[in-house]
Structure 1
Amino acid sequence: MTSPAENIDTQSSSLDTRITTAVQEGMPSTVADLSALVRIPSVSWAAFDPAHVRASAEAVAALATQTGLFDVVDIKQAKIDTTDELGQPAVIATRKARNGAPTVLLYAHHDVQPPGKDEDWDSSPFEPTVRGDRIYGRGAADDKAGVMAHIASLRALSDALGTDFDLGLALFIEGEEEFGSRSFANFLTENKDALAADAIIVADSNNWDEVTPAITVGLRGNVTFRLTVRTLDHASHSGMFGGAVPDAMLATIKLLNSFWDDAGSVAVHGLTSYAGETPDYSEEQLRAETGLLPGVAPIGTGTILSRIWNQPSITVTGIDAPTVANASNTLSPVVSAKVSVRIAPGQSAADAASAIREHVAAHTPFGADVVIDDLDIGDPFLVNTSGSAFGEAKRAMKDAWGVDAVELGVGGSIPFIADLVRVFPSAEILVTGVEDPHSRAHSPNESLHLGVFARSVLSEALLLARLNTPQC
Structure 2
Amino acid sequence: MDGVRADLEALTRIPSVSLDSFDQTQVDRSADAVADLLRAEGLEVQIVREGGRPAVIGRLPAPEGAPTITLYAHHDVQPPGEDADWDTPPFEPTERGGRLYGRGAADDKAGVMAHVAALRAHDGKPPVGVNIFVEGEEEVGSDSLATILDKHGDKLAADAIVLADSTNWKVGVPALTTTLRGMIRVVVTVRTLDHGIHSGMFGGAVPDAISTLIRLLATLHDDAGDVAVAGLKSGEAADLDFDEARLREESGLLDGVQAIGTGSLLSRLWTKPAITTIGIDAPAVDVASNTLVPSARAKVSMRIAPDEDPRAAYDALRKHLADHAPWGAQVEVSLDDEGAGFDADAQGPVYDVARGSFTDAWDGTEPVDIGVGGSIPFVAAFAEKFPDAAILVTGVEDPDSRAHGANESLHLGEFEKVCLAEALLLARLPQAK
Deviation at 1:296, TM superposition (A): 1.1
2:275 aligned counterpart, secondary structure:
strand
Deviation at 1:107, TM superposition (A): 0.4
Equivalent of residue 85 in structure 2, options 116, 120, 143: 120
Q: 2:230 maps to what in 1?
A: 269
Equivalent of residue 36 in structure 1, options 10, 15, 23: 10
Equivalent of residue 347 in structure 1, options 277, 290, 308: 308
Q: Distance in 2 between matches of 1:361 and 1:280?
A: 40
TM-score, reference length from structure 1: 0.89
Equivalent of residue 421 in structure 1, options 380, 383, 402: 383
Deviation per CA, 1:392-443: give whole Å up to 9, x if none: 1111111001201111111111112221122111011000000000111111
Q: 1:389 maps to what in 2?
A: 350
Equivalent of residue 101 in structure 1, options 41, 54, 66: 66
Q: Distance in 2 between matches of 1:282 and 1:356?
A: 30
Q: 1:319 maps to what in 2?
A: 280
The alignment-based identity, stated in percent, is 56
Cα RMSD, aligned residues only: 1.4
Q: Could you tell me which runs of 5 or more consecutive residues in structure 1 were left unpaired when the two chains were aligned.
A: 1-26, 79-85
Q: 1:279 maps to what in 2?
A: 240
Q: 1:73 maps to what in 2?
A: 45
Q: 1:13 maps to what in 2?
A: none
Deviation at 1:242, TM superposition (A): 1.5
Q: Which range moved further: 457-466 or 316-325?
A: 316-325
Q: 2:210 maps to what in 1?
A: 249
2:253 aligned counterpart, secondary structure:
coil
2:428 aligned counterpart, secondary structure:
helix
Q: Which amino acid aligns with 1:404?
A: E
Equivalent of residue 302 in structure 1, options 263, 266, 285: 263
Aligned residue pair count: 432
Q: Could you tell me which runs of 5 or more consecutive residues in structure 2 were left unpaired when the two chains were aligned.
A: none
Q: Distance in 2 between matches of 1:303 and 1:471?
A: 35
Q: Distance in 1 between matches of 2:161 and 2:196?
A: 54
> Would the aligned equivalents of 2:73 and 2:134 in 1 still touch at CA under 8 Å?
yes
Equivalent of residue 194 in structure 1, options 155, 169, 181: 155
Q: 1:50 maps to what in 2?
A: 24
Deviation at 1:363, TM superposition (A): 1.0
Q: Which amino acid aligns with 1:37?
A: L
Q: Distance in 1 between matches of 2:183 and 2:230?
A: 16
Q: Which amino acid aligns with 1:462?
A: L
> Would the aligned equivalents of 1:176 and 1:182 in 2 still touch at CA under 8 Å?
yes
Q: Distance in 2 between matches of 1:436 and 1:246?
A: 47
1:325 aligned counterpart, secondary structure:
helix
Deviation at 1:166, TM superposition (A): 4.1
Equivalent of residue 183 in structure 2, options 190, 213, 222: 222
| Runs of 4+ in structure 1 over 6 Å off | none
Q: Distance in 2 between matches of 1:87 and 1:147?
A: 20
Q: Distance in 1 between matches of 2:211 and 2:285?
A: 16
1:205 aligned counterpart, secondary structure:
strand
TM-score, reference length from structure 2: 0.97
Q: 1:140 maps to what in 2?
A: 105
> Would the aligned equivalents of 1:278 and 1:306 in 2 still touch at CA under 8 Å?
no
Deviation at 1:151, TM superposition (A): 1.1
> Would the aligned equivalents of 2:127 and 2:426 in 1 still touch at CA under 8 Å?
no
> Would the aligned equivalents of 1:99 and 1:166 in 2 still touch at CA under 8 Å?
no
Deviation per CA, 1:327-375: give whole Å up to 9, x if none: 2222222222111111012211111111111111111122222222252
